[in-house]
Amino acid sequence: MKTRTCLRVNGTQYEVPPSFSGRRLLDYLRSALGLVGTKEGCGEGDCGACTVLVDGTPMCSCLLLTGVLDGREVTTIEGLPEAFLSQFAAICTEYGAVQCGYCTPGIAVMAAWLRDGGNDMNDEPVSKLFEGNLCRCTGYQQLIEALTALS
C-alpha cells in the first residue's frame, strides 16, 4: 500500500513528510514550504484568506488534509504569474481595494482563476463569486469594482 504523499506546488514536485500528512494543506504550505502568502483567517472555511488552487479549482487550504492530496497540483499566490500579480496590484491600488492586505492573497488567487476562464462572467456577477472572501477593512464596493475591471 502506498503511504507517501507527493504533490506539485507551484510547479515543483514535493514528497510530504509523514509528520505533515495528517495536517492541513495550509500548515504544510506555510510551515514546511515557507509559502506564507497563503493566510489563515477563520480556519473554518468561511473567510477565504487561505484560498489556493487545487488542480485549477479554488479551495480553502484550511479544510484540506495534505495526506489526501497525492498527485494533485497546488498553486498558491507565490505561483501566480508575475504579470498577473503586477496587474492585480495596480488595479487594486487604482480602485483603493486594499488596506491591511490580509485577505488579498486569497482574493488574488480567486481573481487569477476567474481570469483563466474558471467562470463564465455572463453567468455569475463578480460580487457573487467573491462572497467567500471576507475583508474586514476595505469596502466591498471598491473590491468588486477592481475585480470587475480586471476580468
The binding site for ligand FES (CB under 6 A) comprises: 40-43, 45-50, 60, 62, 98-103, 135-138
Q: Which residues of 54-79 are buried (b: 16+ CB within 10 A; e: fewer)?
A: beeebbbbbebebbebeebbbbbbbb
Regarding beta strands 51-54 and 12-15, do their DSSP bridges make them parallel or antiparallel, or are they unpaired? unpaired
State in angstroms the smallest separation of the CB of 91 from ligand FES: 14
Which lies closer to ligand FES via its Cβ, residue 5 or residue 138? 138
Contact between 67 and 82 under an 8 Å Cβ cutoff? The reply is no
Which lies closer to ligand FES via its Cβ, residue 2 or residue 148? 148
Helix (H) or strand (E) holding 51: strand 51-54
Which lies closer to ligand FES via its Cβ, residue 6 or residue 68? 68
State in angstroms the smallest separation of the CB of 143 from ligand FES: 8
State in angstroms the smallest separation of the CB of 138 from ligand FES: 4
Largest Cα–Cα separation, the chain = 53
Which lies closer to ligand FES via its Cβ, residue 14 or residue 102? 102
